[in-house]
């Protein structure tokens, strides 16, 4: 709640992702939005109402408006390139100091966060990401990194669109089958695309950096699930539904918690008592 910029309504300064400088970019905005949304859902789940819940929702709404106002380029139809950054040496706040895209953050905005779920900005961003991924996997660029993030978001976004889903599946197959190393099928954090015969199309995807890269491999697994079993991904809304029989209260140690403690005591105490009785008998 306190991570807020008075001037813009965006989030506070932070070392976002790998940045050496405090920034105020899409990645941080999406992360703070996810935190607010989770806090609001948890508060509601535990029976909070009134001022606190309203304040969380109001802040979510303000942040969403600020993302649209400052981090969305309507002409391009995608979230980028503007960002705030602090110049450490001068202490000055700079606007739009770096303007490269952050496709990973653009993907997080679609999944898992869903800031603009069902809205035009989200659909436009998905189109742009699909355009971004294809040339990389067709070997027409110098290399790439973390395309799994993007394809997971696209697979879940297009899950009910057979044509788009076929396209995402085709690209996912290249990433999962052709890009990993031969024999052991490992992935690096970075892939360098090498054109060995000079025809402008890469013939070798060369994995580099920290092989096997656990996060890239994990994204690969999640991508396979997203492409072939998108229903396995539940949204926040479904995962935090209170069951009709739930007697949850503000205290996490409700009746269920007490029952668990008593059960655990029985499980551990009974064998211990039996052991003690036997020991005494032998002694």
Closest CA to 106 of 57, 84, 73: 73
Nearer to Ca ion, 100 or 199 (CB): 199
Binding to Ca ion, residues 181-200 (CB under 5 A): 195, 197, 199
User: If residue 151 lies in a helix (H) or strand (E), which one and from where to where?
Assistant: helix 147-157
Residue 112 and residue 43: Cα distance in Å, rounded? 20
Q: Which of 234, 226, 219 is nearest to 159 (CA)?
A: 226
Name which position in 142, 170, 178, 203 contacts Ca ion (CB under 5 A).
203
Tell me how far, at minimum, the Cβ of 132 lies from Ca ion, in Å: 21
Nearer to Ca ion, 189 or 195 (CB): 195
Q: Is 17 in the site for Ca ion (CB under 5 A)?
A: no
Cβ–Cβ < 8 Å for 39, 46: no
44 binds Ca ion (CB under 5 A): no
CB of 135 to Ca ion, least distance (A): 14
Shortest Cβ 199–Ca ion spacing (Å)? 4
CB of 93 to Ca ion, least distance (A): 46
Q: Which residues contact 62 (CB under 8 A, 6 or more apart)?
A: 4, 9
206 binds Ca ion (CB under 5 A): no
Tokens, residue 95? 């606007």
Nearer to Ca ion, 201 or 210 (CB): 201
3 state SS of 73:
strand
Q: Which of 1, 12, 201, 266 binds Ca ion (CB under 5 A)?
A: 201
3-state helix, strand, coil in the chain (%, to 5): 50, 10, 40
Contact between 5 and Ca ion per CB under 5 A: no
What number of chain residues touch Ca ion (CB under 5 A)?
Answer: 5
User: Which residues lie near Ca ion (CB under 5 A)?
Assistant: 195, 197, 199, 201, 203
């Amino acid at each position: 709640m306190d991570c807020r910029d008075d001037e813009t309504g965006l989030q506070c300064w932070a070392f976002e992702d790998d940045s050496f400088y405090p920034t105020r970019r899409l990645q941080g905005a999406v992360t703070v939005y996810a935190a607010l949304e989770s806090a609001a859902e948890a508060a509601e789940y535990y029976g909070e109402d009134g001022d606190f819940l309203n304040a969380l929702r109001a802040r979510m709404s303000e942040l969403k408006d600020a993302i649209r106002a400052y981090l969305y380029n309507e002409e391009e139809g995608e979230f980028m390139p503007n960002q705030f950054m602090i110049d450490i040496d001068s202490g000055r706040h700079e606007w739009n100091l770096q303007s490269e895209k952050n496709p990973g953050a653009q993907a997080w905005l679609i999944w898992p966060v869903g800031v603009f779920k069902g809205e035009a900005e989200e659909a436009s961003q998905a189109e742009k990401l699909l355009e971004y991924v294809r040339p990389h996997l067709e070997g027409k660029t110098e290399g790439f990194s973390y395309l799994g993030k993007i394809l997971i978001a696209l697979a879940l976004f297009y899950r009910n669109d057979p044509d788009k889903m076929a396209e995402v599946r085709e690209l996912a197959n290249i990433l999962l089958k052709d890009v990993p190393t031969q024999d052991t099928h490992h992935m690096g954090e970075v892939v360098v695309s090498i054109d060995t015969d000079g025809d402008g199309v890469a013939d070798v995807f060369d994995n580099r950096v920290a092989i096997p890269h656990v996060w890239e491999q994990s994204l690969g697994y999640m991508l396979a699930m997203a492409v072939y079993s998108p229903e396995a991904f539940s949204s926040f809304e479904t995962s935090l539904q209170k069951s009709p029989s739930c007697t949850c209260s503000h205290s996490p140690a409700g009746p269920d918690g007490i029952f668990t403690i008593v059960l655990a005591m029985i499980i551990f105490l009974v064998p211990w008592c039996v052991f003690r009785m036997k020991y005494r008998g032998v002694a």
